């Protein structure tokens, strides 16, 4: 089914009942949007949020289109470009089918219509699954996750914007069944050496991680990898797990699972700032295990880099020096405010904890002290003083790709901050790995070059030497543009403070 809005030069195609994975569709959208001559593109399921995005493109969607329908919308300056972009979308969608990431194509059998039927088919083929990955709009995630638990699977919930009441109910049921719920909003996990979600390519090894954060886990894994220490499992439990409401339900269960794993010699728990009473429960549970546990509960002790160094030295290796990369010319300090622009919430939290010791209150959309006006950004995310923005926060990703996939919103704000006379230094992160943008350094480097280099820019490059984007190549692109680059987020934050007059 095809319709076209002539005034906006937008072509819309609807594929009825052609369900595809939302994460994979984000990648297709990005590919089509990057086609030369295309000014806007969306390849997604026709959920309520995505229909709102289509309305913003002035796209007319036929009545009766619903969340089980696939929509392809392309806006371009001419018919030839639109046609070529639509062909590209078809090619990418066909590739999804061949690789097994879609529900149609490449298989004579009808696709399973439920979690239970999918499990039964896989078991009948001799490959019974152990884990279900749920990636649907947040309001629907609990229903899929409950079904997966009842069919005997552990669950990874990639979906964000899942109501906290749903999360609690899921984790209570999982405990009754002896299952593990990773997430909601579990962006990163490693199970038996296999990366899920936004995963970096790191060496296998004896460390098990329990992560109530996504980029915090990635930072820890990349630092350990740089020091030659590998990771066997990283169980992401969701950023709210150590909140007072959720009570560390999945964290406590994950600790038990890793303690029982003979290949895990040390466990690290990394978390966004936890509720004090939950942190105390995690400490008590950790002390009772046979496996040594290192706790990285932000705001209550060491930063992630210091904890990674502690783990490295515990294996008998010397204390590591984390890699850093510098531009050819000297970077000149500048008077003004710190402006932190982050894709990772945990990296943003850690940067604020480091900076607040020197600067005092820092405004943010994820404030370290919720409820205190001096620490909270207004809805327009504008502030005259020191600020840190997490562009990956749930409120900013509703209906749009995560900034690790589509960095355009963050890049636009970067250009604005570099042009602001009040900006003293810009601190930001670039997160590499599978699922992330194929070349995140390019847009940042272009903005830095175009600014003329008057504002110092410090970058946390969270990645490993094995990541598909190329750690060294990304660092070179950034330093050639004039930015300083650090593998350690804590080191980057401290350097940003040094560059403020």
Which residue segments constitute the domains of the chain, with CATH numbers given? 2-99 (3.30.70), 112-170 (no CATH), 185-314 (3.40.50.261), 324-498 (3.40.50.261)
The encoded tokens of residue 31 equal: 């590919």
> Is 77 exposed, middle or buried (CB count within 10 Å of its CB: 0-12, 13-18, 19+)?
exposed
Give pLDDT, residue 109. 64
Q: What is the pLDDT of residue 103?
A: 45
Distances (CA, A) of 61 to 13, 80, 232, 436: 9, 22, 46, 30
Of residues 372 and 306, which shows the higher confidence score? 306
pLDDT > 70? residue 6: no
Pairing mode, if any, of strands 266-271 and 207-212?
A: parallel
Q: Which long-range contacts (CB under 8 A, 24 or more apart) does 259-262 make?
A: 259/289, 259/290, 259/291, 261/208, 261/232, 261/233
CA-based radius of gyration for the chain: 23
Contacts of residue 194, Cβ cutoff 8 Å, sequence gap at least 6:
none
Q: HEC profile for 302-330?
A: CCHHHHHHHHHHHCCCCCCCCCEECCCCC
Q: What's the chain's average pLDDT?
A: 89
What is the predicted pLDDT for the residue at 397?
79
Q: From 416, 498, 403, select the one nearest 451 (Cα to Cα).
A: 416
Residue with more model confidence, 138 or 316: 316
Q: What is the pLDDT of residue 371?
A: 59
- Specify the pLDDT at position 106: 42
User: What integer is the mean pLDDT of 448-465?
Assistant: 97
Query: Which among 97, 125, 86 has a CA at the least distance from the CA of 2?
Result: 86
Q: For position 117, what pLDDT does the model report?
A: 82
Contact 188, 198 (CB under 8 A): yes
pLDDT computed for residue 7 by the predictor: 41
- Residue partners of 224: CB distance under 8 A and separation at least 6: 202, 205, 207, 230, 231, 308, 311, 312
Please write the tens of the pLDDT for every residue from 405-449. 889 899 999 999 999 999 999 999 999 999 899 999 999 999 999
Structure tokens at 284: 């008590």
- pLDDT confidence bin for 260, thresholds 50/70/90: very high
pLDDT more than 70, % of the chain: 93
Once rounded to an integer, what is the mean pLDDT over residues 3-7? Answer: 48
Q: What is the pLDDT of residue 69?
A: 87
Per-residue pLDDT at 336 exceeds 90: yes
pTM given for the model: 0.83
Tokens of 228: 């030659």
The predicted structure's pLDDT at residue 86: 93
What residues are paired with 45 via a beta bridge?
70
pLDDT at 308: 97
User: How does pLDDT run across 93-148, given as a tens digit for each residue?
Assistant: 888 765 444 444 444 566 777 778 888 888 888 888 889 999 887 888 999 999 99
pLDDT 10s digits, 44-98: 888 777 787 788 777 888 888 887 889 999 988 899 999 999 999 999 888 876 5
338-385: per-residue pLDDT in tens?
A: 999 999 999 999 999 999 999 998 999 999 876 555 567 888 899 999
pLDDT of residue 104: 42
């Amino acid at each position: 089914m095809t319709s076209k809005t002539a005034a906006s030069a937008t072509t819309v195609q609807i594929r009825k009942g052609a369900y595809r994975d939302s994460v994979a569709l984000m990648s297709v959208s990005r590919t089509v949007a990057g086609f030369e001559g295309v000014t806007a593109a969306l390849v997604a399921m026709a959920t309520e949020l995505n229909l709102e995005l289509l309305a913003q493109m002035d796209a007319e969607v036929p009545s009766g289109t619903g969340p089980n329908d696939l929509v392809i919308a392309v806006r371009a300056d001419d018919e030839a470009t639109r046609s070529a972009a639509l062909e590209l979308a078809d090619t990418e969608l066909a590739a999804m089918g061949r690789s097994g990431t879609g529900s149609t194509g490449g298989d004579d059998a009808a696709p399973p219509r439920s979690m239970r039927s999918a499990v039964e088919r896989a078991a009948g083929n001799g490959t019974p699954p152990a884990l279900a990955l749920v990636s649907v709009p947040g309001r629907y995630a609990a229903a899929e996750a409950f079904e997966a638990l009842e069919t005997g699977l552990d669950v990874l919930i990639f979906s964000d914007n899942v109501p906290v009441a749903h999360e609690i109910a899921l984790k209570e049921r999982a405990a009754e069944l002896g299952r593990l719920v990773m997430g909601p909003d579990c962006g990163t996990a490693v199970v038996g050496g296999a990366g899920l979600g936004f995963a970096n390519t790191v060496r296998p090894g004896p460390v098990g991680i329990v992560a109530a954060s996504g980029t915090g886990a990635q930072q820890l894994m990349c630092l350990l990898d740089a020091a030659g220490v590998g990771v066997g499992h990283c169980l992401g439990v969701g950023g709210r797990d150590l909140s007072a409401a959720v009570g560390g339900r999945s964290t406590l269960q994950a600790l038990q699972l890793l303690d029982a794993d003979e290949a895990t010699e040390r466990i690290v728990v990394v978390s966004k700032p936890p509720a004090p009473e939950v942190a105390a429960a995690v400490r008590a549970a950790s002390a009772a295990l046979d496996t040594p546990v290192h706790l990285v509960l932000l705001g209550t002790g060491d930063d992630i880099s210091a904890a990674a160094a502690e783990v490295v030295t515990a294996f008998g290796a010397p204390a590591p020096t984390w890699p850093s990369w510098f531009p050819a010319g000297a970077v000149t300090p500048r008077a003004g405010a710190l402006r932190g622009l982050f894709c990772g919430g945990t990296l943003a939290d850690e940067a604020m904890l480091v900076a607040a010791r020197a600067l005092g209150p820092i405004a943010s959309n994820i404030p370290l002290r919720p409820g205190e006006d001096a620490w909270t950004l207004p809805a327009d995310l504008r502030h005259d003083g020191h600020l840190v923005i997490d562009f990956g926060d749930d409120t900013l990703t509703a209906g749009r790709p995560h900034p690790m996939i589509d960095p355009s919103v963050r890049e636009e704000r970067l250009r604005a901050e570099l042009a602001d006379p009040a900006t003293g230094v810009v601190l930001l992160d670039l997160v590499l790995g599978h699922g992330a943008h194929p070349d995140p350094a390019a847009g940042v480097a272009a903005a830095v070059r175009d600014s003329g280099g008057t504002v110092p820019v410090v970058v946390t490059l969270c990645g490993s030497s094995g990541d598909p984007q190329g750690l060294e190549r990304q660092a070179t692109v950034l330093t050639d543009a004039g930015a300083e680059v650090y593998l350690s987020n804590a080191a980057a934050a401290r350097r940003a403070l040094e560059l403020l007059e």
